[in-house]
Amino acid sequence: MIDIVKMNHEFSDPDILNKWVIAHDICGDSFLEEARQKYGGNCLIGFVYVDHQAGISLEVETFCTVGADGDITPTQGPHDHNESLKLRYDVIKQINIELLNQDQIKSLSLSEKPEWLKFYVDPDLERTRQLEFLHPFRALGFPDDIQVLLPPVKGKREEVVWARIESYRDDGVFVCTLLNQPNQDFKINLLDRIEVVPATIGDERWMLCVS
């Protein structure tokens, strides 16, 4: 049996990450249609991971056909031509994705984790991606990017900005990179490092900038 995971345009199911998947219904996408014409098949097999800057991504391993009995037959893929084909979140969210089970992974001679994944794995960031209290603040398709509240100071009103988590300290502080220039002069600028903590303000939870 195939375990179905519906991509609901939210980062609400971390289990889809670092997994082999098969994507169906790719014929309607113009970007994938060009690749499908080149490699054959009507589905594709790939590995879903997080690129720290580019967000949720899928590295295509091979295109394939799926028979009426569910059997998967690989055709060709980018790696057969010493090429690479990555799908980013804007494409991933448009297609139906199913997790491959262990029997399918074995029958397709896929390794548990692809060799190239080591260049994208950061144990500290992997830990933060599992923190459910951060999910409401994440950018769609970019689990390391969160909304951060800049508190009012010296006559300036509060302001919400985007920041990218770089590390998570033992004292509960998130070290982040500021991704947009605040509209007001908070003495911090685009790409500055800021410190962020979870906080309750009134009846609402926020990720609060404290530096």
In the chain (211 residues long), the average pLDDT of successive 10-residue segments reads 35 73 79 87 94 96 91 93 93 88 95 95 93 93 96 92 97 97 95 97 94 88
Per-residue pLDDT at 174 = 98
Whole-number Å distance between alpha carbons of 18 and 113: 8
pTM greater than 0.85 (yes/no): yes
Whole-number Å distance between alpha carbons of 177 and 63: 37
The alpha carbon dihedral of 118, 121, 122, 123 has a sign of: negative
Per-residue pLDDT at 9 = 36
Strand partners, 60: 46
Per-residue pLDDT at 36 = 87
Tokens coding 134: 């951060």
Radius of gyration in angstroms for the set of CA atoms belonging to the chain, rounded to a whole number:
20
Contact (CB, 8 A) for 163 and 177 = yes
Determine the 3-state secondary structure of 74 from DSSP: strand
Per-residue pLDDT at 13 = 55
What is the CA angle 148-201-210, rounded to 5?
45
Per-residue pLDDT at 154 = 86
Per-residue pLDDT at 28 = 66
Per-residue pLDDT at 75 = 95
Tokens coding 79: 């790696």
Q: Which residues contact 15 (CB under 8 A, 6 or more apart)?
A: 5, 99
Per-residue pLDDT at 1 = 30
